[in-house]
Structure 1
């Protein structure tokens, strides 16, 4: 644990004080952590390369497609149309509530990083249209995405936990909603009220171009095109839940990469070619978006390198073994195991899935409600997001924040989700006895 803390502290010092390029800082921190944890020197470069490849392999195409998709939504004027319609119908005072609901609903079918990339254009469009602080406007939506990702099936961590502890997926979903909603209210719109003073410099990637009102796409076209990937993924998820036998036949279409590619093709037509633009004109926005997304991809790659070193060194397994022997209530223990793995490894999904191997026998021996254990571990897996979490860096870079303000906003939001999630799980355990 001391080795992990020293490596993370070195990483933070290099980036915040030394202004070292984040990818280089991550590689140095990963090397230092591996040596302190006793990894064989010959295996360290391979672990770093594997971590970079594994994380980028699953994210790079989706993030790039999401970026070019969002850039086209912005440049075509569709984002401006959407933002104007929301401001007009809801009024400025209700926008945080609308963002909270949007994030949670979108987060139900979508993997967190996919939902983040899809929703960022909407957040920035509302920021530019309403003039409200970017962080205070974005946090409620991102809290909804995070909570859905950490607590609720069919997300990978929750689904793996349901299988590991033999929980009932239906009950877990119902209990999860009972825990998620009050947690979301606290960590989303209520917490966001304290963030208005944070000065962000949002990415210029999704700032809309000055399109005359007469040339804006229609409201239906704008909403339908912008929400198409969300609608497709949600529909396919519902179909496979209702008809499990269709899971394999629909696996290709339900893959986020395929959905994003289809959605981008539709956007090229509906917001570009069908409105009189040439294909080279439409592709110009894609080139700009990909140039701007490159630094973010490098930072995410670095986070993967550090994560893999910590996985291969056996830190998570060792912590789990030690914690499982502590005399504390089972639900609190499950939460603590997931929290420590999350702090060490960064990934909420990895924390939840890794903790599943520890809490499975614990549920059998203690007799605690397995559905509540899924939620307790889910809450722990979201705790204390910091510099080894790709979500931390995506938020920091997209919103243009300092490390201090990222800890103050993003990390605090995730910690509130973890703490209040646990409290509401414990309260629910009392109520359903």
Structure 2
């Protein structure tokens, strides 16, 4: 019955958005209410401790936007500011000159791999998508031609590798080595991400999809070499948040979380703080060195917030939908359904994570729930704990769809319809998950507990 209710909810969401053309934010909240009621949750209750439809929606929105609103806000401000001041164009020009227009995708993939190792998908997407828009506009390339490699390369890094939250949490449950997990993860993620990122944009059903940059999120200005900042400072300011977050992860792995240097970088390397530092560095440089009026700089910041306002609302509503599903007991139902399966530990962990991901949309919930079921198999020494981490993590990336807030971020930033987003994002995340499982099974032939 819970899976039937889930199917009804997804069908209703598709009906509201595809047939009645209702706004995504309104549709998600309405479907969250309907699904919550069908699961037996009361709409409201006199007892403040009761779990209700509305309390779940409120918790879901708050939990989803949480510090993400700071990441989106500061990230969009930094991205638009750098674009308006010509820094994104300078990076685009230098990348194209270095790699050539014919290899623009490879340039984007390499940057995404480097940034995606330490940045969450959402943060890295916010930082890099303006550069994609700038390159596409400057070289008159399709946005999808460059945006798909960016999204896929970032997804492969976020899904497989610590220090991202899912793999890191599972490594703790399985008592796996973070270093070995990172090493084995790179062995799988780099080739899988590279192949899918290069192949996917060339498929017919992807090439037929047209993306458009959200109004206000990419500069329409024309720049010359004299009006653009230098490559070094453009790269330095853009990379500053990445380096701060990377420093936090590297020092934690090398020195331990209690070391004073680790604690310092844990503070300044927190994603919202790192993005704020990068934004302040950009403002100081352009105001003091380039002598750009503060009103102009603040105008860029204001326009960026307008462009992401609806994106924030839709992502929050996606969190509400996810929370109602979780509060209604679908997590417990899936755990009970799969707990007695007699299959390979790697396949079991991957399958449970995949089912949880499809049902709830939350990769973090999926990996932790799957890890709780599969942990006794790891403790028994049946398989390498590091490979179990990777199998669980890659299962959680499968089939990003309507209950995944990342689905809506991808959709809104590229100006796609729900149908087209299902075609290009849901399919590529599924392929990444399946190829990741294949990579884990292959490595298991050589790596044992």
Shift of 1:323: 0.7
SS of the aligned residue for 1:206 comes to coil
| Distance in 1 separating the partners of 2:224 and 2:383 | 61
SS of the aligned residue for 2:11 comes to helix
SS of the aligned residue for 1:387 comes to coil
Shift of 1:249: 3.9
| Residue 27 of structure 1 pairs with residue 42 of structure 2 | no
Asked if the contact 2:60–2:320 (Cα under 8 Å) also holds between the matched residues in 1, the reply is yes
Shift of 1:431: 2.9
- How big is each residue's C-alpha offset from its partner over 1:191-216, in whole Å with a ceiling of 9 and x where there is no partner? 22223332111223113422344222
Write the mapping of 1:103-114 to structure 2, written as runs, cut at 5 A.
Answer: 103-114=112-123
Give the TM-score of the pair, scaled to structure 2.
0.93
| Distance in 2 separating the partners of 1:61 and 1:159 | 23
| Distance in 2 separating the partners of 1:386 and 1:148 | 19
| Residue 313 of structure 1 pairs with residue 328 of structure 2 | yes
Partner of 2:149: 140
Partner of 1:340: 355
Asked if the contact 1:150–1:349 (Cα under 8 Å) also holds between the matched residues in 2, the reply is no
Shift of 1:73: 0.7
Write the mapping of 1:157-306 to structure 2, written as runs, cut at 5 A.
Answer: 157-194=166-203, 195-204=206-215, 205-244=217-256, 245-246=258-259, 247-306=262-321
Partner of 1:11: 13
| Distance in 2 separating the partners of 1:413 and 1:271 | 39
Shift of 1:402: 1.4
Asked if the contact 1:128–1:207 (Cα under 8 Å) also holds between the matched residues in 2, the reply is no
**Which runs of at least 4 in structure 1 moved beyond 6 Å after TM superposition?**
none
Write the mapping of 1:109-124 to structure 2, written as runs, cut at 5 A.
Answer: 109-124=118-133
| Residue 431 of structure 1 pairs with residue 446 of structure 2 | yes
| Distance in 2 separating the partners of 1:91 and 1:59 | 35
| Distance in 2 separating the partners of 1:366 and 1:39 | 41
Q: Which moved more, 1:56-65 or 1:212-221?
A: 212-221
Write the mapping of 1:361-372 to structure 2, written as runs, cut at 5 A.
Answer: 361-365=376-380, 367-372=382-387
**Cα distance change, pair 407–241 in 1 and its aligned pair in 2 (3 A):** same
| Distance in 2 separating the partners of 1:281 and 1:130 | 27
| Distance in 2 separating the partners of 1:419 and 1:131 | 34
| Distance in 1 separating the partners of 2:363 and 2:264 | 29
Write the mapping of 1:57-136 to structure 2, written as runs, cut at 5 A.
Answer: 57-136=66-145
- How big is each residue's C-alpha offset from its partner over 1:241-286, in whole Å with a ceiling of 9 and x where there is no partner? 2111333343221211111111100101223442111211210111
| Distance in 2 separating the partners of 1:326 and 1:240 | 37
| Distance in 2 separating the partners of 1:269 and 1:72 | 12
Asked if the contact 1:100–1:188 (Cα under 8 Å) also holds between the matched residues in 2, the reply is yes
**Cα distance change, pair 167–255 in 1 and its aligned pair in 2 (3 A):** same
Shift of 1:75: 0.5
| Residue 360 of structure 1 pairs with residue 375 of structure 2 | yes
| Distance in 2 separating the partners of 1:249 and 1:210 | 41
| Distance in 2 separating the partners of 1:172 and 1:79 | 34
Shift of 1:110: 0.9
Shift of 1:366: 6.9
User: Aligned match of 2:340 in 317, 320, 325?
Assistant: 325
Shift of 1:354: 2.4
| Distance in 2 separating the partners of 1:118 and 1:356 | 32
Which structure 2 segments of 5+ residues have no match?
45-51
RMSD in angstroms over aligned alpha carbons? 1.5
Asked if the contact 2:353–2:367 (Cα under 8 Å) also holds between the matched residues in 1, the reply is yes
| Distance in 2 separating the partners of 1:223 and 1:366 | 46
| Distance in 2 separating the partners of 1:211 and 1:369 | 54
| Distance in 2 separating the partners of 1:155 and 1:342 | 16
Asked if the contact 2:244–2:265 (Cα under 8 Å) also holds between the matched residues in 1, the reply is no
- How big is each residue's C-alpha offset from its partner over 1:50-70, in whole Å with a ceiling of 9 and x where there is no partner? 100111112111101111111
Q: Which moved more, 1:227-236 or 1:244-253?
A: 244-253
Partner of 1:375: 390
